[in-house]
Homo-oligomer: A and B are copies of this chain.
Amino acid sequence: MSSKALAERAEDAPPRRGRRKEARPGELLDAALDLFVEKGFAATRSEEVAARAGVSKGTLFLYFPSKEELFKAVVRENISGRFAEWNEEFESFEGSTAEMVRYCLNVWWERIGATRASGITKLIISEARNFPDIAAFYHQEVIQPGMQLVRRILLRGVDRGEFRAVDIEYTIFSVIAPMIFLIMNKHALGACIPQDYPMDPQRYVNAQVEILLHGLCVPEKKA
């Protein structure tokens, strides 16, 4: 009991180097995400995950019955079910659709792209064919809702006469592709090759948005 009290206190006061039982699975998932993204599923050793999380090999298997289940948990954990929230923002957004696109991609960068969660995208791309059910899950939970959100935005632009009457289904990819590219650069080549050109993510996102909007918007006819 007194130990439980201690544990609770430990939670109140941020972890002072103490091991908090409740935090273990999360720490393992964080460690696993990093390593899976870095080396791939097969090339990551379970023991390394445990070591990075500061626990022993055995403890890992106490929380996850197998390396494969760990992988699935990593994906599940890092798939933000934030589309409900984002759809709400969409509904109540009052500015122009161009502003909406700008806002949307910047928010995406802040909340996903710049965080460890972005690693999931690289992980899925690398491992999709070894874990088709995980790929299907990701497709359903992330890709479809994401595309649907983009679709609604593009439709809004076209409906309101802000955007040209482009082929919406293919234009969705014009929004998504630069983001995928940024993540791949962050987690693959960019992570191991000293870049010979500057690559500031914020500026990159803005540049892509501007090109995209130039391509989408109807020319403003000024008297």
Contact = CB atoms under 8 A, between A and B. Distances in A.
A211 interface: yes
A126 B129 contact: no
B207 A171 contact: yes
Q: Which residue among A164, A188, A198, A219 has the maximum number of chain B CB atoms within 10 Å of its CB?
A: A188
A143 interface: yes
Interface stretch (A15-23, A89-97, A177-185): A177-185
A214 interface: yes
Nearest to A127: B40
Interface of A: 38-43, 122, 124-130, 132, 135-136, 138-139, 143-144, 147, 164, 166-167, 169-171, 173-174, 176-178, 180-181, 184, 188-189, 191-193, 196-198, 203-204, 207-208, 210-216, 219
A197 to B, nearest CB: 6
B122 A170 contact: no
Given A40-B130, A42-B40, A42-B42, A173 B125 contact: no
A191 B129 contact: yes
B216 A211 contact: yes
Contact of A212 (B167, B189, B193, B215): B215
B40 A204 contact: no
A222 to B, nearest CB: 12
B144 A196 contact: yes
Given A125-B189, A219-B219, A173 B178 contact: yes
